Amino acid sequence: VQLQASGGGLVQPGGSLRLTCAASGLPSEEYGIGWFRQAPGKEREGVSCMSSSDGSTYYIESVKGRFTIARDNANPTVFLHLQMDSLRPEDTAVYYCAVHVPGDRRLCGTTRADYWGQGTQVTVSS
């Protein structure tokens, strides 16, 4: 499995960014896929995750109503997007995409993913 994240950058509070993870080599069995973030001096946390089997999703409380996770299947590559709206300074972090096999959206409750992409920096600042 290979994961390539993109889309980070600098944005003002209240602005939007869209992150994309290009995932290739995914297995045929059920897996969990999602986005994590790590701010300076803080532990990595699961932001939003999805079950491959039924597309069900999970969001941490602090991003509900502001972030949206979505998947585009362009066989053999899956593109996982994270639309981030109404961004706040506390959203500043390095964002990573991750996959765990077998797994589902509960991936976000743990940091024990099998595969990690490189991080992409998101900075929310005026």
Per-residue pLDDT in tens (0 to 9) along the chain, 126 residues: 999 999 999 999 999 999 999 999 999 999 999 999 999 999 999 999 999 999 999 999 999 999 999 999 877 899 999 999 999 999 999 999 999 999 999 999 998 899 999 999 999 999
Q: What pLDDT score does 8 carry?
A: 96
DSSP 75-109: TTEEEEEEEE-S--GGG-EEEEEEEESS--GGGGG
**Which sign does the torsion angle of CA 53, 59, 19, 114 carry?**
negative
Residue 38 CB neighbours (<10 A): 15
Quote the pLDDT of residue 74.
Answer: 76
pLDDT of residue 81: 98
Which pLDDT score is estimated for 111? 84
What is the structure's pLDDT at 98? 97
pLDDT at 123 (0 to 100): 98
Identify the pLDDT of residue 19.
98
Q: What share of the chain is helix, strand, coil (3-state, %, to 5)?
A: 10, 50, 40
3-state secondary structure of 112: coil
Is the distance from CB of 4 to CB of 117 less than 8 angstroms?
Answer: yes
Distance CA 126, CA 106 (A): 34
